[in-house]
Structure 1
Amino acid sequence: MEIIYRTFIVFIAGYLFLRVTGKKAVSQMHTFDLLYIFVLTNIISTPVEVNHIGKALAYAVIMVILYKIFIRLSLHNKLRWILYESPTVLIRNGDIDRKGLKKVRMPVYELLSHLRVKGYTDSQNIAIAVMEESGEISVIPKAEYRPVQPNDLNIHVKKEYLPIPLIMDSQIVYHNLKYLQLDQNWLMNEVNKMGEKVDNIMLATYLENGTLFIDNHEVKDHKGDPYYYNPGKDN
């Protein structure tokens, strides 16, 4: 019982400390996830320092169980708002929310840098910017500043096709060949038609029209062409 009690206290204390620290400190990860990784790492490393591998493993098992319990509890909407922080509005209809910035401890210059990373240079063009519970910032521009969509122009576009890798780093991806109901003989014939060898292929993908695209290890020489300028002294 002492092991369970001590592990539970450490888990709760760590969670509260991370909540007080704020979403910015745990950006891209939920508080539970960060705490779980941090505590579990320390528990597992304990046998390296002291000779108590059994007790360390017991703590680790209890930590995993606690993590699973809290994650399951977070699936319930009523408990979710208690366990996780709510999203914080940083910009609304082009106006920067000072209270929101103060709550997440973010200066204006940092907010502007996040907007630039998202591709926006003016806060007045933003309909809403929110720091999510994971610490990531979501930005939605005003309607007149968002990218034009095909639907806006009544243009019907075909379904997006994802090229399927068949050779990667000179190695045949057999499970993709099986998925496409093709065999190695077909692949080798296509490679030979293009005068290539598998050992010299960096990437070969199966295209929508049933052909093979090959990118080998060779890089075309565009020396002197300003459209292919390579920064640095090795250009």
Structure 2
Amino acid sequence: MEIFKNIGITAITSVVSIVVLFLLTKLMGSKQVSQMTAFDYIVGITIGSVAAELATDLEEPTQPLTALIIYGFAAFGISVLTSKSIRARGAVTGKPLILLEDGVIFRENLKKARLDLNEFLTYTRMSGYFDLSQVQTAVLEHNGVVSFLPKEPYRPATPSDMDLKPKQSHVQMPFVIDGKLLPKNIAQAGKEEAWVRRMLLKQGYRDERAVFLALWDGDSKLTAFPMDRTALSS
């Protein structure tokens, strides 16, 4: 019976640790998932380790739970502080480092960033610059990503360069997902379900059940993807 009791306690503490981790992640914000600073990285590893201990500590689960909550609120407090204080932000998240500017590679900044030349050249190639002379500025961001500003002759052409005025695009909104209309999205867009069905019919769909996904472009176009190859009417 003792083994079943331990299994039950482990299952409960595991669920509790998952719930607490989820709540703390929501509390600390999406930055904990992406664009992590060194502080975020350290806290994330520590919280994961404490959560694992919480799931397996059958004697005193309250101790790792308390530590987990303290770490979570500490991370939240630091994030609030860095959002309000520029000085604190610089101390915690760090400052960008210019690695290259106008044909000059800054050796001291490479040393500060713990980057050697081979690593730096790898970053340039990964960003599509195989000729370093095409780069005007390279900056190491606080999250470890290297940003590149190309020289004017090597940057992509834009419509304004060619004196063009293209129509502004909009984020596509789903009107049909998995064969079902989305009434809230349709109403929010100022459209009617009958309009959606007419647009689908023009594309060969007899009803929305044959559509896996339909996206509205913000104007008058509805792009539909069939549920399967035989979804289109003959």
Taking structure 1 as the reference length, what is the TM-score of the superposition?
0.71
Among candidates 194, 208, 215, match of residue 225 of structure 2:
215
Contact 1:89 1:129 in 2 (8 A): yes
Q: Deviations over 1:157-202 (max 9, x none)?
A: 3222233221234443343223113343433343234322534433
The equivalent residue for 1:201 is 211
The equivalent residue for 2:10 is none
- 1:27-176 to 2 correspondences below 5 Å: 28-51=35-58, 52-75=60-83, 76-176=85-185
Match of 1:115, SS state, is helix
Give the whole-Å Cα distance in 2 for the aligned partners of 1:47 and 1:142.
53
Give the whole-Å Cα distance in 2 for the aligned partners of 1:171 and 1:43.
43
Give the whole-Å Cα distance in 2 for the aligned partners of 1:194 and 1:119.
39
Contact 1:91 1:123 in 2 (8 A): no
Number of aligned residue pairs: 193
Match for 1:33: what amino acid? D
Give the whole-Å Cα distance in 2 for the aligned partners of 1:208 and 1:63.
44
Q: CA deviation at 1:110?
A: 2.6
Give the whole-Å Cα distance in 2 for the aligned partners of 1:173 and 1:72.
37
Give me the CA root mean square deviation: 2.4
The equivalent residue for 1:14 is none
Contact 2:54 2:65 in 1 (8 A): no
Give the whole-Å Cα distance in 1 for the aligned partners of 2:221 and 2:166.
21
- Residues 168-177 or 84-93, more deviating: 168-177
Q: 2:195 matched to 1:191?
A: no
The equivalent residue for 1:230 is none
Contact 1:163 1:208 in 2 (8 A): yes
Q: In the superposition, relative to structure 1, how do residues 39 and 168 fare at CA in structure 2: closer, same or farther (>3 Å)?
A: same
Q: CA deviation at 1:136?
A: 0.8
Give the whole-Å Cα distance in 2 for the aligned partners of 1:200 and 1:116.
44
Q: In the superposition, relative to structure 1, how do residues 63 and 208 fare at CA in structure 2: closer, same or farther (>3 Å)?
A: closer
Give the whole-Å Cα distance in 2 for the aligned partners of 1:39 and 1:172.
44
Match of 1:74, SS state, is helix
- Residues 29-38 or 194-203, more deviating: 194-203
- Residues 53-62 or 161-170, more deviating: 161-170
Q: Which has the higher contact order (CA 8 A, sep 6+)?
A: 1
Identity %: 24
Contact 2:172 2:215 in 1 (8 A): yes
Q: CA deviation at 1:208?
A: 4.2
Contact 1:94 1:125 in 2 (8 A): no
Taking structure 2 as the reference length, what is the TM-score of the superposition?
0.71
Q: Give unmatched runs, 5+ long, in structure 1.
A: 1-26, 220-235
Contact 1:43 1:60 in 2 (8 A): yes
Q: In the superposition, relative to structure 1, how do residues 175 and 81 fare at CA in structure 2: closer, same or farther (>3 Å)?
A: same
Q: Give unmatched runs, 5+ long, in structure 2.
A: 1-33
Give the whole-Å Cα distance in 1 for the aligned partners of 2:183 and 2:37.
37
